[in-house]
Structure 1
């Protein structure tokens, strides 16, 4: 085998591997389960949680002129000062970082 052909093939393979790796890392989202777990932990600080849900697909969302890919979810928290069924909240979390961007009490 010719050394020039070998080195050219190795360089092309390394460049392709680098490009694929960068493309994969750029588009990686936090899992919806991790986002839900983070939201549950944040809400647990102010009362027990009785239910939660999350939409598993990241959706487009705009806030203050900035575009995000987000997960939407909800939490039902028991209010320690009341005997009713609880308080319901919906949240929006950034799919890339897992940060909660918005919470709305229903």
Structure 2
């Protein structure tokens, strides 16, 4: 009887630890999801013509903080001219951390 209680307690503890680990892990968006978030935000002020994103997240440091980010670019039409922008976006939230015209 004692062994059965110990086995049940071990199983419950193992399952609880697994669930807790999964909930504490920081989720990361796919590059495509980040691209859609960036394009949606940029469309408010730019006429987006094209976009690209690197598929591998990178470490990025800004103002003493560390981020996992995706880097990419946008092409926007300004009348007849095309303008290129580079962006850096947080891989967890899609928040644009940097957007520069080239």
**Shared fold per TM-score greater than 0.5:** yes
The answer for the alignment partner of 1:12 in structure 2 is 10
What is the Cα deviation at residue 31 of structure 1?
A: 1.6
Is the CA contact (8 Å cut-off) linking 1:43 and 1:77 kept in structure 2?
Answer: no
> 2: distance between equivalents of 1:55 and 1:21?
31
User: Which runs of at least 4 in structure 1 moved beyond 4 Å after TM superposition?
Assistant: none
Is 1:35 the counterpart of 2:34? The answer is: yes
Specify which structure has the higher proportion of strand.
2
TM-score, structure 1 normalization: 0.82
- For these two proteins, the number of residue pairs brought into alignment is 101
TM-score, structure 2 normalization: 0.85
Is 1:99 the counterpart of 2:98? The answer is: no
What 5-or-longer segments of structure 1 have no aligned partner?
A: none
What 5-or-longer segments of structure 2 have no aligned partner?
A: none
